[in-house]
Amino acid sequence: MKKLINAPDAVLADSLKGVAAAHPELTVDHANRIVYRGTPTRAGKVALVSGGGSGHEPLHGGYVGIGMLDAAIAGEIFTSPTPDQIQEATRVADSGAGVLHIVKNYTGDVMNFEMAAELADAETGVTVATVVVDDDVAVEDSTYTAGRRGVGLTVLLEKIAGAAAEEGQDLAAVEAVAKRVNASGRSMGMALTSGTVPAAGRPTFDLPEDSMEIGVGIHGEPGRHRVPLAPAASIARQLVEPVLADLDFTGAPVIAMLNGMGGSPLIELYLMYGEVAALLETAGVTVARTLVGDYITSLDMAGCSLTLLRADDELLRLWDAPVNTPGLRWGV
Amino acid sequence: MKKLINAPDAVLADSLKGVAAAHPELTVDHANRIVYRGTPTRAGKVALVSGGGSGHEPLHGGYVGIGMLDAAIAGEIFTSPTPDQIQEATRVADSGAGVLHIVKNYTGDVMNFEMAAELADAETGVTVATVVVDDDVAVEDSTYTAGRRGVGLTVLLEKIAGAAAEEGQDLAAVEAVAKRVNASGRSMGMALTSGTVPAAGRPTFDLPEDSMEIGVGIHGEPGRHRVPLAPAASIARQLVEPVLADLDFTGAPVIAMLNGMGGSPLIELYLMYGEVAALLETAGVTVARTLVGDYITSLDMAGCSLTLLRADDELLRLWDAPVNTPGLRWGV
């Protein structure tokens, strides 16, 4: 295992030190492993709180800031944060207008966020609404989920719901737009190589030199099938087709994200997006906004994922609204 | 070799298709492999033109846009663009106010940009000034250079000189600020693994599981020494010490970049920045602005580099000015 780390069990704590040093506009609670905005949630603004296992950077800590999250809770690598951590973030982030929990659909995350929401309500009177993201079309159930996994759409949802909260929409409205995003987006990923969890010290799964995993999860969970390594044009088809088969993306402006899994360089991600864009055009899908890069990763896994969101004027408006986070920034 | 590509000899052309598809605000000349802003250089604005071998994305094409470059020329992977390509970009980008060539110090790049500048002057009457970036403290001469290599500082220089040009400074002034940045910045890199050039099909160099290369170049050129794999804290010392030994960074606001080489995930880059920041603080260096992420890469090499720029109020002001490129964006 070759990594830029000190000890395997110190990776998360050490990385949060770097986040704090690099981003004086954020506040890091090192004891509870929570990243907050540098200034408290303003009175009347709904707070957005998300989190999950680490190893998916910049998700979620990199999306804390104006126009996006108010707090992000970091679990250990590929491990849900605890209800205590989530409750603390919820309590601190709330300004009295309520909190939206954005939860990727993994059994541990869903359970712990639910428990934290109940505790927050019972102990501190914080009103919590929850959106569970389940955009991955690869599998119906998986190693760590009942139902579909939550993957790349989380990034788009945090941006759009964040903009709604920033402009003063109330909790019910922010929850509604978040659920509309979840209903309107789909993702599919693939891996060329396995990532390596530092504490394990070796790749999570074996993927021979001539094979790739289609439909892989962001923790290296098995996907739909293992197939021979293929050219980018073929890989693009294997991502685009299941996404388009699952939801109609024609007749609406689409936000597209071609995401890197952490170990694939940008030259390859752009190349993949070129193949994807050509297929989308042939299929009559109109892409209105695009992201290409590492937005939700799986440690050092080589590979990529595609996320499409069927948008409309309102969702595009919220997408284009100013955002100032380490991972997404424009307009400020 | 596991990569998201079609054929090894089509990587650059295919990747530029993706850039064009993802960034409708840019114009890609596919025949000449030049990325331009979508609108011509406005009359009176000095044009900034850079370029070099591909494989370092987002450098240079990802830095074309408002507040940064007007054109970027893409050579084949790790290969200088030709004088013809550079001359074409120079001719098209010029608005009559002259062109600044930003050239990383590699023998082929320097020679071809120089030839293109002479041709541009003789054939189309374009006035060209040139800044050669040579910030790498690792080695005095190297495989591909006489003198120091140009690496990470190029990103900071393109941003700052771009802002000077955007606000209407003339060619002499933009050249002067670019040269001031080059004189005030230093870099040092390291590799955990070698990148793989697609056409070669195998890693550029052998780096055993228990070793790392300190002072590596962005084409996998040998660095200062090959040493045993070490914890991040030790790696940080081996980057910070030679940089601080080469230039005094105390008593001024410093812009720091902890850059990923392409194959190292963000969680590790933040961890490295945490170590670097602690060392800088101990050394009395005040970091005013920070970038952590993949800004100048070496294909899929795992590793990182550190760049420090000794700034002042004027350089910080230009750094903070609005920029809208695929690779750096704020304020717009």
A150, pLDDT greater than 90: yes
pLDDT band at B63 (very low <50, low <70, confident <90, very high): very high
pLDDT at residue B324 above 90? yes
Is A18 in a helix, a strand, or coil? helix
Nearest CB to B2: which of A269, A287, A302? A302
N-to-C CA span, chain B: 40
Distance CA B230, CA B198 (A): 29
**A270: pLDDT strictly greater than 80:** yes
CA distance A49 to A102: 6
User: What does the block give as tokens for B167?
Assistant: 């606000």
> Average pLDDT of B50-79?
98
Distances in Å between the alpha carbon of A82 and those of A45, A53, A74, A117, B290? 25, 10, 9, 12, 31
Residues 6+ apart with CB under 8 A from A278: A236, B17, B21
Q: Are B293 and B176 in contact (CB under 8 A)?
A: no
**What integer pLDDT is reported at residue B90 of this predicted model?**
98
Element (H, E) at A211: strand A211-214
Q: Which two structure tokens, joined as six digits, stand for B177?
A: 């600020």
Q: Hey, is A251 helix, strand or coil?
A: coil
- The whole-chain average pLDDT of chain A stands at 97
What phi, psi does B287 have (nearest 5°)? -85, 125
Looking at residue B146, what is its pLDDT? 81
Q: Is B219 a catalytic residue?
A: yes
Contact list in B for residue A14 (CB cut-off 8 A) is 232, 271, 274-275
Tell me the C-alpha distance between B122 and A77, whole Å.
60
- Assess B17–A contact: CB distance below 8 Å, yes or no: yes
**A192 lies within 8 A of chain B by CB:** yes
Confidence band (pLDDT; 50, 70, 90) for A22?
Answer: very high
Residue tagged 């408002």 (tokens): B66
Q: What is the mean pLDDT of residues A105-113?
A: 97
Residue-wise pLDDT tens digits, B86-97: 999 999 999 999
Q: CA B59, CA B61: separation in Å to the nearest integer?
A: 6
Percent of chain B scoring above 90 in pLDDT:
95
Q: Which residue has the tokens 């804290």?
A: B233
For residue A74, pLDDT beyond 90: yes
Q: For residue A290, what pLDDT is reported?
A: 98
Coil/strand/helix, residue B313: helix
The HSE-up count of residue A191 (CA atoms within 13 Å, CB side) is 31
CA distances to A53, A229, A299, B182, B268 from A7, rounded to whole Å, are 18, 34, 16, 36, 12
Mean pLDDT of A77-81: 97
Active-site residue, A225 included: no
What confidence tier does B244 reach under pLDDT thresholds 50, 70, 90? very high
Please spell the DSSP secondary structure of A76-129, one letter per residue: EETSPPPHHHHHHHHHHH--SS-EEEEEES-HHHHHHHHHHHHHHHHHH---EE
B100 three-state secondary structure: strand
For the beta carbon of residue B225, count every other beta carbon within 10 angstroms. Answer: 11
- What integer pLDDT is reported at residue B167 of this predicted model? 98
For residue B57, give both structure tokens.
Answer: 């994305």
Give the other-Cβ count within 10 Å of B9's Cβ: 12
Which residue type does A155 have? V
Whether the predicted pLDDT of B171 surpasses 80: yes
Number of helices and strands in chain B (H, E):
8, 14
Confidence of residue A137 (pLDDT cuts 50, 70, 90): very high
Q: Quick one: pLDDT at residue B143?
A: 76
Sketch out chain A's domains with CATH numbers.
9-133 (3.40.50.10440), 185-323+326-330 (3.30.1180.20)
Q: What is the token pair recorded at A271?
A: 């190349």
pLDDT for position B103 = 98
**pLDDT value, residue B41:** 94
Strands (E) across chain B are located at: 26-29, 34-37, 47-54, 71-77, 99-104, 128-133, 185-191, 211-214, 225-228, 253-260, 286-293, 303-310, 323-324, 329-330
Integer-rounded Cα Rg, in Å, for chain A is 19
A190 CA: distance to closest CA in chain B (Å): 10
Confidence at residue A145, expressed as pLDDT on a 0 to 100 scale: 77
In this structure, chain B runs to a length of 332
Closest CA to A68 of A104, A44, A100: A100
Report the first-to-last Cα separation within chain A, whole angstroms: 40
pLDDT at A224 over 90: no
Please name the residue that has the structure tokens 């350089």. B315
Region of poorest pLDDT, from A277-286, A309-318, B143-152: B143-152
Cβ A329–B329 below 8 Å, yes or no? yes
Nearest to A2 among B18, B209, B294 (CB): B209
pLDDT bucket at A143, cuts 50 / 70 / 90:
confident
Phi and psi at B36, nearest 5°, equal -115, 160
Is some CB atom of chain A closer than 8 A to the CB atom of B26? no
Distance of CA A64 to the CA centre of its chain: 12
Give pLDDT, residue A139.
86
Which among A4, A209, A329 has the least Cβ separation from residue B235?
A: A4
Q: How far apart are CA A239 and CA B303, in angstroms?
A: 29
**Of A93-102, A217-226, B38-47, B81-90, which gets the smallest average pLDDT?**
A217-226
- Determine the pLDDT at residue A161: 98
Give B256 to chain A, closest Cα distance, Å: 9
Average pLDDT over chain B, rounded to an integer: 97
Pick from A53, A20, A52, A59: nearest CA to A36: A20
Backbone φ, ψ for residue A137 (5° rounding): -80, -5
CA B41 – CA B39 distance, rounded (Å): 7
Give per-residue pLDDT as tens, A152-203. 999 999 999 999 999 999 999 999 999 999 999 999 999 999 999 999 999 9
Query: Model confidence over B208-218: pLDDT tens digits?
Result: 999 999 999 99
Note the pLDDT tens digit of each residue in B134-162: 999 998 877 777 899 999 999 999 999 99
Q: What is the pLDDT of residue A146?
A: 81
> Which pLDDT score is estimated for A324?
98
Contact flag B268-A5 (C-beta cutoff 8 Å): yes
Gap from A193 CA to chain B (nearest CA, Å): 8
Question: Which has more confidence, A146 or B309?
Answer: B309
Find chain A residues with C-beta within 8 A of B265's C-beta.
57, 262-263, 294, 297, 299-300
Average pLDDT for B218-236? 93
- Please report the pLDDT score of residue B188 as a whole number: 98
Task: Enter the tokens of residue A104.
Answer: 């990727």
